[in-house]
Amino acid sequence: MSSAMSNLTSPLNSTQLPSTSLFTTLSPSHSVGDDVFAYGSLFVSCVAFGIMFIPLKNYDCKDGLFVQWVECSIVFLAGFLINCIRGFPEFQWIAAIGGALYATGNVFSVPIIKGLGMGLGFLLWSSVQVIVGWGVARFGLFSWLPPTVPQHAILNYTGLALTIVSGILFVFVRHQEVPSKRVTSYTVNQSSVSEEKEDDSLTRDILYKIPFVIMAIGLAICHGLMMTPIQVLKEKHPTNDKWKGMFLCYLSLLLL
């Protein structure tokens, strides 16, 4: 995601690109086909990441480590197939940092979903991930990545502000599990019970969520930075190869 945000906040270079282009750090060979490929890949990845944990909803995944291992194994197999098709290009070791960041953050995914729920967990860590990716693209990263200036600053900062506000509001959304088995119902004096417990309910709910919110922020930081090493690699060695360094990223993801 940080890679996508980097493209969206790239500076304008009118000597190389037509005035109708939204991208400004691409090479002169950039074309409409590249835009279609980029947005198509973004759409597919958003859908895939959005539904990847649905099969786990009806199973007890314990601490999630086995789920992590299976997921990383499948990612590695897909990456190995792509690497075979590309003719086994040279390894770029810096890309391994991205895989390590993804694997480290992904350890928290199952506990977050169990604690906050799938929808709330996804929304919270996705919001923070967008902010982290935007920050790296906008302000750079030390001397490794240069800062970039958005072409439409007002829209850019407005979108960021909405993301921050929505991320804060998500914390106050209550997660309630729907029982999968038949539960015996009974009647109590609702008025007396609700008046005594309503005041403490919100406080307990927020305190319960704090560890999971911290894990979601940690996951989002790792995932927001996972493409940064590959961006650094492309800055040092410019190329039109869209898959450069990806296989080693997948390999390190499995090893961790």
What digits encode the pLDDT tens for the residues 32-77? 888 888 889 889 988 888 888 888 777 777 777 888 888 888 888 8
Number of domains in the chain: 1
Write down the pLDDT at residue 146. Answer: 86
Q: Do the domain assignments include residue 233?
A: yes
How does the average pLDDT of the chain come out, rounded? 76
Q: Is-contact 85 209, C-beta < 8 A?
A: no
DSSP letter string, 190-206: HHHHHHHHHHHHHHHHH
Domain that holds residue 49: 2-12+33-176+201-255
Q: Do the domain assignments include residue 184?
A: no
Q: Do the domain assignments include residue 185?
A: no
What digits encode the pLDDT tens for the residues 211-231? 998 999 999 999 989 888 888
Average pLDDT over residues 146-150: 85
Average pLDDT over residues 133-146: 86
In angstroms, the CA 245 to CA 233 distance is 8
Using the predicted structure, report yes or no on whether residue 191 has a pLDDT greater than 90.
no
Q: Do the domain assignments include residue 196?
A: no
| Dihedral angle computed from the Cα positions of residues 162, 166, 167 and 173, in that order, rounded to the nearest 10 degrees | 180
Write down the pLDDT at residue 199. Answer: 57
Q: Is-contact 63 114, C-beta < 8 A?
A: no
Q: Do the domain assignments include residue 25?
A: no
Q: Do the domain assignments include residue 183?
A: no
* Long-range Cβ contacts of 77-86 (<8 Å, 24+ apart): 78/250, 79/246, 79/247, 79/249, 79/250, 79/251, 80/247, 80/250, 82/243, 82/246, 82/247, 83/247, 86/243
Q: Do the domain assignments include residue 21?
A: no
Give the lowest-confidence range in 21-30, 80-89, 225-234: 21-30
- Give 145's strand partners: 141
Q: Do the domain assignments include residue 181?
A: no
Write down the pLDDT at residue 221. Answer: 93
What phi and psi, each to the nearest 5 degrees, are found at residue 229?
Answer: -55, -35
